C-alpha cells in the first residue's frame, strides 16, 4: 500500500498532587440554537449528494459513496441531530448545514470508523456513538481541511511535502488510539499517512543510564520521559526524512521504542525491526505528551521543583529540533494532570495482561510522579497560548474528561 508502513520485522510499536489546569473561556453548544433542527429539515427535504467541491475525490469519494447502505430517513434524521449536537463542530469549522449537505459522507465514514473500532454501528451505545461522531470524525474532517489548505499553500512549488500534524496530549488520554484510527481511515480512503511518536526518540537504555549517572540527584532524569531524555538528532532526521517522501520510490525507516524492555524501563528497538515508510506521503501524525511545550523562566521552573531547572534548560532545544517541523497542531487538553496516574495504570495492566513485562503499580506511581512537575510548569502556557510554533487557523484545542470524551463546553480558541 502506498504511503503505508512496510515491516522489516517485529511489532509496529512497543507496548506503550498537581493543581487543576487554569480555566479558559468556553464556547458552549448553546451558541447554535436551532441549527440541528434546520439541518434535519434539510435532510428530509433534499436528496443527498456526494461529494461536494473540495471534498474527497477519486478513490476516496468512491469508497465513501459505497461503504454501506444508508439507514431509513428517520434513523438518518436522528443521527444527523446527534452529530449536530457535537461539542467539536464549531472548533473544527463544521457548520450544521454543511454537515447536513455532507451527511452521506458522515454516515459512511462513521460506519467505517465503527468497523475499525469493532463496534456494531447500528447497535452502538451512547459512549460508542459519541466517540465516533462527536470526537474522531470531527477531528478527521478538520485534519482533512488542514491537508487541503497545506497543498494549496504549496501549489506551484512542485510536489508538496506531507502535512506534519503535531498532536500534543498527556499520557494515557487516548492520543495513540486517535492516531491509529485516523491512520486506518486515511489508508482506507487512499490518503497516504504515517505516524511517529516522541516516544520513538527516547535515548537508548545505555544512554539513559549514562544520563541518570551524570545527574544522580535529579529524580526527573533518572528515567525516560522528560526533556533531556530524547535523542533530538534522531527525531529531527526522522521528521526530515518523512517530509522528504514526496515521490514514489522514496523510503524512510522510522525508529521504534520498546517500553517493555528491561522490566519496563524500556530501550530502543533493534533497527532491523523498524517499519519502513514508502512515499509519497500526504500526512505525518506526530504525537507526544510534551510536544509544543515552551520553557519557563528559570526561577519559575525552580519554584515548581528544583530538579526541573535541568529539564527546562533541555526543553529550549525542542522548538527548533522538532516543533519547527510541525505545520498544524492538535492539542488535547485535560482538566487535571492527576488523571494521568489512573490512565497509565490501566495501560500497564493491559500490557501485563498481554504477557508483556511491565512496571508494578508502585513503579507506575513513581514513574508518573516524575512527569507532574512538567505538567504544572508547562500546561498553563500551552493551553493559554498554544504550542511553540502554533499559527492562527492551524491549531485545534479540544478538551476531554476523565473518561477521555470531549467535554460539552469546549475551550475558546487561543489563536
Q: Give the pLDDT band (50/70/90) at residue 113.
A: very high
- 103 has a pLDDT exceeding 90: yes
pLDDT value, residue 329: 99
Range 46-69 average pLDDT? 44
C-alpha cell at 54: 473540495
Range 149-156 average pLDDT? 93
Helical (H) or strand (E) element with 117 = helix 103-117
Q: Above pLDDT 70, what percent of the chain?
A: 82
Q: Give the pLDDT band (50/70/90) at residue 82.
A: very high
pLDDT value, residue 195: 97
Task: Pick 64 or 134 by higher pLDDT.
Answer: 134
Q: Above pLDDT 90, what percent of the chain?
A: 73
CATH number, domain of 389, equals 3.40.50.300
* 3-class DSSP string for 185-213: HHHHCCCCEEEEEHHHHECCHHHHHHHHH
For the whole model, what pTM was predicted?
A: 0.84
- 239 has a pLDDT exceeding 60: yes
Q: In the Cβ-directed half-sphere of 246, how many Cα atoms lie within 13 Å? A: 11
Per the structure, how many domains does the chain have? 1
- 50 has a pLDDT exceeding 70: no
Of 8-12, 125-129, 158-162, where does mean pLDDT reach its minimum? 8-12
- How far is Cα 169 from Cα 287, in angstroms, rounded to an integer? 8
- How far is Cα 184 from Cα 114, in angstroms, rounded to an integer? 12
Range 194-223 average pLDDT? 97
Task: Pick 109 or 42 by higher pLDDT.
Answer: 109
Q: Give the pLDDT band (50/70/90) at residue 70.
A: low
- How far is Cα 164 from Cα 312, in angstroms, rounded to an integer? 25
For the stretch 353-361, contacts whose Cβ atoms lie closer than 8 Å and that sit 24 or more positions apart, written own/partner, are 354/15, 356/15, 356/260, 357/260, 357/261, 357/263, 357/264, 358/15, 358/260, 358/264, 359/263, 359/264
Give, rounded to a whole angstrom, the gap between the first and last alpha carbons of the chain: 37
- 1 has a pLDDT exceeding 60: no
Q: State the Cα angle at 308 between 307 and 312, rounded to 5°.
A: 140
CA-wise closest residue to 286 among 316, 257, 254: 254
pLDDT value, residue 8: 43
> Tens digit of pLDDT for each residue in 294-344?
999 999 999 999 999 999 999 999 999 999 999 999 999 999 999 999 998
Range 263-279 average pLDDT? 94
Of 61-65, 272-276, 353-357, 397-401, where does mean pLDDT reach its minimum? 61-65
Domain ranges, residue 373: 5-411
What are φ and ψ of residue 93, in 5° steps?
70, 30
C-alpha cell at 309: 531547572
**Which strands make up the sheet holding 328-334, listed edge to edge?**
193-197, 283-288, 163-168, 328-334, 395-400
**What is the residue-averaged pLDDT of the chain?**
86
- 58 has a pLDDT exceeding 60: no
Amino acid at each position: 500500500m502506498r504511503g503505508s508502513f512496510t515491516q522489516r520485522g517485529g511489532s509496529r510499536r512497543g507496548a506503550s498532587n498537581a493543581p487543576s489546569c487554569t480555566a479558559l473561556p468556553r464556547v458552549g453548544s448553546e451558541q447554535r440554537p436551532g441549527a440541528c433542527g434546520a439541518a434535519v429539515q434539510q435532510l428530509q427535504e433534499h436528496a443527498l449528494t456526494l461529494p461536494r467541491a473540495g471534498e474527497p475525490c477519486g478513490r476516496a469519494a468512491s469508497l465513501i459513496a459505497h461503504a454501506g447502505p444508508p439507514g431509513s430517513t428517520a434513523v438518518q434524521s436522528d443521527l444527523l441531530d446527534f452529530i449536530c449536537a457535537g461539542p467539536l463542530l464549531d472548533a473544527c469549522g463544521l457548520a450544521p448545514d454543511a454537515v447536513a449537505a455532507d451527511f452521506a459522507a458522515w454516515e459512511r465514514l462513521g460506519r467505517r470508523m465503527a468497523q475499525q473500532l469493532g463496534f456494531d454501528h447500528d447497535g452502538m451505545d451512547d459512549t460508542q456513538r459519541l466517540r465516533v461522531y462527536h470526537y474522531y470524525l470531527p477531528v478527521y474532517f478538520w485534519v482533512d481541511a488542514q491537508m487541503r489548505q497545506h497543498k494549496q499553500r504549496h501549489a506551484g512549488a512542485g510536489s508538496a511535502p506531507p502535512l506534519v500534524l503535531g498532536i500534543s496530549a498527556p499520557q494515557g488520554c487516548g492520543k495513540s488510539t486517535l492516531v491509529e484510527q485516523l491512520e486506518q481511515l486515511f489508508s482506507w480512503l487512499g490518503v497516504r499517512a504515517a505516524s511517529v511518536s516522541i516516544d520513538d526518540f527516547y535515548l537508548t537504555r545505555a544512554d539513559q543510564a549514562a544520563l541518570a549517572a551524570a545527574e544522580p540527584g535529579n529524580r526527573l532524569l533518572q528515567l525516560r520521559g522528560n526533556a533531556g531524555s530524547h535523542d533530538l538528532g534522531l527525531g529531527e532526521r526522522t521528521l526530515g526524512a518523512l517530509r522528504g517522501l514526496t515521490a514514489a520510490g522514496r523510503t524512510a525507516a522510522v525508529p521504534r521504542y520498546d517500553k517493555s524492555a528491561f522490566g519496563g524501563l524500556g530501550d530502543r528497538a533493534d533497527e532491523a525491526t523498524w517499519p519502513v515508510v514508502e512515499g509519497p506521503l500526504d500526512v505525518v501524525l506526530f504525537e507526544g505528551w510534551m510536544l509544543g511545550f515552551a520553557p519557563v523562566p528559570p526561577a519559575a521552573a525552580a519554584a515548581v521543583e528544583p530538579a526541573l531547572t535541568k529539564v527546562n534548560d533541555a526543553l529550549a532545544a525542542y522548538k527548533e529540533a522538532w516543533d519547527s517541523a510541525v505545520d498544524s497542531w492538535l492539542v488535547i487538553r485535560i482538566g487535571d494532570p492527576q488523571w494521568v496516574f489512573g490512565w497509565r495504570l490501566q495501560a500497564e495492566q493491559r500490557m501485563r495482561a498481554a504477557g508483556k513485562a511491565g512496571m508494578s503499580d508502585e513503579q507506575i506511581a513513581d514513574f508518573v510522579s516524575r512527569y507532574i512537575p512538567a505538567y504544572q510548569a508547562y500546561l498553563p502556557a500551552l493551553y493559554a497560548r498554544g504550542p511553540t510554533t502554533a499559527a492562527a487557523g492551524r491549531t485545534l484545542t479540544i478538551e476531554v474528561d476523565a473518561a477521555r470524551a470531549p467535554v460539552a463546553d469546549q475551550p475558546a480558541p487561543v489563536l
